[in-house]
Amino acid sequence: MIIPSFNHAEYIEECINSVLLQTCEAREVIVVEDGSTDGSREILSQFKDRIILIEIPNSGACIARNVGAMYSTGKILAFLDSDDAWKSNMLEESLKLFGQSQAELVFCNLLRIDSKGLDLGQLESILPQEDWFFMNPGKTPFPPSATLITRSLFAKVGGWNTALKSPAEDFDFFRRCAKHTTFAKVESNLVLHREHGKSLTSRAPIYYFEDNVRAVKALLAEDTAELKITQRILIWYRLHLMFLKHSLKLRDIGLTFFVLRSFARALL
């Protein structure tokens, strides 16, 4: 179990306790403290011998996850964001599905909550089919907090791409995982997924777009032999159309022109 922690002092205690109180014990709980400045370290010190604490300079969630994986010893890895929490049977139900399938990645549905823990409704995770990532460039079928993966799969894909940030990092990571294994889904809401203003996904839309462009470029570079020119154009079209619709919804003229200019360049 790996928890990247950055400036979530108000949530980190609930997050860690949700792992420590699992019906199936987590053999090791690794918290990678990513240079927090909000008192998170003081809260983490209360857990002492119950967690493995690794402190690094602020480097971002991808590096923190990779560092945690490097220090871990288990055959199954889980990556829980420090502002999310697990329901008490998350680990038990997910491990059970590993034993019932050939999948190297297991995931579940989530319940969305706000900063105060109030219910915002279910977040339905998607079981991606073979071409899902080509059809949905820039989107992610589920967040990291909902997943468990084998160490061998993590090694095959080379960990998280440290050049990307959320949510493009998730699209990129799970796309690469899908090239090596099938996924299996627990049809239950086993994670409390928090939506609030301090989350990584609250960044300005233009940064989302730039990261997703990098993630799609990586996809196209890896799958050049498999994709025809028409497929490559469609992937770019779908990505740009998604952000164009988003920019119009936000009435963000700057983002609209940025997306249109990017698409024009992609066609040249």
Per-residue model confidence as pLDDT tens digits over 190-236:
999 999 765 544 457 788 788 889 898 888 888 766 778 888 888 88
* Residue 143: cis peptide before it, omega within 30 degrees of 0: no
Per-residue model confidence as pLDDT tens digits over 7-46:
999 999 999 999 999 999 999 999 999 999 999 999 999 9
The domain spans of the chain are: 2-197, 205-267
**Residue 177 three-state SS:** helix
Tell if the pTM clears 0.85, that is, is over it.
yes
pLDDT band at residue 118 using 50, 70 and 90 as cut-offs = very high
CA distance readout (Å), 11 to 18, 152, 201: 11, 31, 16
CATH class of 2-197: alpha beta
Residue 228's pLDDT is 80
In this structure, the strands spanning 105-113 and 147-150 are antiparallel
Which of 8-12, 52-56, 224-228, 242-246 has the least mean pLDDT?
224-228
